[in-house]
Structure 1
């Protein structure tokens, strides 16, 4: 059953912010009190399984959101698609002249429960780090206050149910102080983001008038590695490629046919290796065409306070690839990444065979200056240039006997990149809100390396978009033992209260 956050008496003056004044301290008190009181709400949301491959679980998430937003004065309606619906929640405010559209994600990556250090990834666990850097579980009902560096471990704790709970809590905190935004709010909730939101573009096109707004805020993603308040003004898009090479029609005994039957794993390895140099740069001609870092952009990128040594230490790498001279520059370019490979068997299932096939899954991160179709075709033509007969289906017996090297190539363009100017209305407004909340300018990042499927909103609706990330960067999103730092949850609530208070 949904728990209501109790009304908390925290005094908050209504004098406009002037730097990080006494009001900023009082905002801390309000946000911390409501964040801590809303932990049961967060636990409840995290306890609902949300793998989009299971429609019945997604339906439970949709129903939960309908109830919670409805109780906070929003009118909700489902936007039907061929699979999971989108959910739109809308609340109008007196004398509001503008409308802010907020994007929230509710689904999560699939889980491999055998690799989680807890009973169930959908049963949130509170943990603290011991002196030996190992995590130990803490009783939720312990009398001691929960510390900022403790963490909640659960699937989607950071990506991205944590921000959903933060926003609902911020709404409750604002209501307790009779803070009414001077803009209308629309919230669009996506339940298939981890699948690439395949039905989102059509849904946005078909419901453009319903989704109409002046700007878009995305509550998703991790803060800068320094964990300081952050705004991100763009994101790379994403396309995917599945590439399969072939050997014998079925796996063969390596003693009988080693040195005779071609090995598809070796062929695939050499084919992939031919796409990049030893420094990680794509060497397919034309892949980086159109991208130039001018002096103004260089200044913007270098204003991000990255510590390259610290980044390498966290990744435990000695040197980075050389696509860019430093991290922020590197993510301004399209990428070609091997996200997974499979052929034969390994570990306890290993066997002495020549595999029948080898497969690689690739992702291509997109930037505005690059045409996605063109990049896909460059990769496909490169494969053909290496002597492969390229097809989009499993080869027939006739094709196998006619061609020495065969590759099956399929691709999908999920969504394009987006970028918003720092000095846009939404950029200036959000920068002011975060500065008022935290007493200093937020870190402003031109473009994140990851992808968010909101390009249809930018292109179809013609509105600028900015991401307001709140979670800790070391959160293991998409991986086992995903977590959310308590301090980030508290500051995330503070961030969203500040946005609700900021006049537009």
Structure 2
């Protein structure tokens, strides 16, 4: 009898999963059409008119699915908010995604218009473009949709909407209250977000935050991320003569700002890439259980190094995931005078370095910037935050201007969080393998305002392919990932949390 009951339960599960898969495959065609429509609306975060058009599209699409929607005004561009009717007996999930995208340079794309999605397949000769009519007979999950924001981050929004369709078609009771907040300035560091979250704190109140942004692990396996690094920036400028001078007349006499800047920068790191600034890594400890989790991520050092075409990585950590547990110090740009075929035989007037610092929860952005400035002073420089006056230039032989950018904090949810364990269990039951669990990812998502104000655990559940070219020309979304995202949203929103 027990065997019969077990077999019946097993067969019922197989039938249910098969029915779900059929429905999801049926929604993929609709999702492709909806994504084409959505991407066609320009969404450059630098253009307020673009954002307004996207907000109207979202209000219509979410409203048609039964959501109550609001446009939330901020000190910058508005946020989009949507919620299904609230049942106080249920826990609440707040989903975060963003509707804005990076600017485009049309000349760098392999298609006339990055806002008109093109359907392509890969072969030995590169990428072949197909007509969308070819999807009428069959949908090949290996084919890709090329266009700005297909992956970052309009694709996941469309996945979510189509998962809601299946839930409604099945008359499935969602065991959660569902709220959605869509950022319109994520690609501009979401400067208005902290104040906006404080302002709309009651509206955004939730028990858990799920962020659906970024790619799955490079292995392509289902992925859950427990945190992300924060970011802040510094701009350093050193000075030579007040104007560029002929290097024949003044070389060996006028101080060269390029060498001055190089001396400052090389004093900050050793040859293995470790930051030498006193106190920079303070407060960071990794116990054996944490190291074990980090090593469970299926990274391959040889593959990473081959893809980067580097012989030896830096040694801040002993392997890739460990390196992400520490704050970074990165030169993101360098400039002085002219280079290439525009180079001139001059002593430059200035040299500038743009730095970014990726933060971890143990590191405070303001503190690290202070440490950097103190270190520069110790190298004998007069540090100011403005262009030096003539009097300052005549009084100090080593001057550097340091200007600071804003701080986006890091966050990290405990690996033992009960809702995190629910997500792992749900994904494992659905996809037949334990998801890749990443303690903290290297990039930055502006989530800290939600955590600081709402006091809730947050998890990144990425949907898109790891080779999607986000922020770059030829951004794309694999159709199989579109199906995966619909299935994952559907599974989470139909699985009780207990």
Q: TM-score, normalised to structure 1's length? A: 0.92
Match of 1:181 among 133, 155, 174: 174
The offset of 1:20, in angstroms, is 7.6
Q: Summarize the alignment of residues 24-423 of structure 1 with structure 2, pairs less than 5 Å apart.
A: 24-92=17-85, 96-132=89-125, 134-142=126-134, 145-423=138-416
1:445 aligns with 2:435: no
CA shift digits 1:67-110 (9 cap, x unpaired) = 21111111111221122011111112557421111101111222
Show the counterpart of 1:426: 419
- Alignment partner, residue 467 of structure 2: 474
Shift of the 149–447 alpha-carbon distance from structure 1 to 2, 3 Å rule, reads same
Secondary structure in structure 1 of the residue aligned to 2:132 = coil
Instruction: Give the C-alpha shift of residue 18 in structure 1.
Output: 9.9
Tell whether the 8 Å contact from 1:20 to 1:436 is kept in structure 2 after alignment: no
- From the superposition, tell whether residues 51 and 19 of structure 1 become closer, same or farther in structure 2 (CA, over 3 Å): farther
Q: Return the alpha-carbon distance in structure 2 between the equivalents of residues 348 and 50 of structure 1.
A: 36
Superposed CA deviations along residues 204-247 of structure 1, whole A, max 9, x for unmatched, are 11221111111100011111110100101111111111122222
Quote how far apart the aligned CAs of 1:342 are.
Answer: 2.1
> In structure 2, the residue corresponding to 1:62 is in which secondary structure?
helix
Q: State the TM-score, normalized to the length of structure 2.
A: 0.93
- Equivalent-residue separation in structure 1 for 2:94 and 2:164 (angstroms): 15
Residue 61 of structure 1 deviates from its aligned partner by: 1.5
Q: Which residue of 1 aligns with 2:5?
A: none
Q: Name the CA shift for 1:16/1:491 in 2 (closer, same or farther; >3 Å).
A: farther
SS of alignment partner, residue 335 of structure 1: coil
Bigger proportion of residues as helix: 2
> How far apart, in 2, do the equivalents of 1:266 and 1:121 lie?
41
Change (3 A) 1:69 1:261: same
Q: 1:350 to 1:454 in 2, by over 3 A?
A: same
By how many angstroms is 1:495 displaced?
0.9
2:3 counterpart residue number: none
Measured after TM superposition, the shift of residue 136 of structure 1 is 2.9
1:17 CA displacement: 8.9
Structure 1 runs not aligned, ≥5 long: 1-14
The one-character-per-residue Cα deviations of 1:392-413 (angstroms, maximum 9, x if unpaired) are: 1111222222222221111134
- Number of residue pairs aligned between Structure 1 and Structure 2: 489
Q: Which moved more, 1:325-334 or 1:113-122?
A: 113-122
Q: Structure 1 residues 410 and 172, CA, compared in 2 at 3 Å: closer, same or farther?
A: same
Q: Distance in 1 between matches of 2:133 and 2:242?
A: 59
Is the Cα–Cα contact under 8 Å of residues 426 and 465 in structure 1 kept in the other structure? no
Kept after mapping to 2: 8 A contact 1:245/1:267: yes
- Following the alignment from structure 1 to structure 2, what is the Cα–Cα distance between the partners of residues 262 and 145? 68
Q: 1:269 & 1:122 partners in 2: Cα distance?
A: 41
Do 1:94 and 1:182's aligned partners in 2 also have CA atoms closer than 8 Å?
A: no
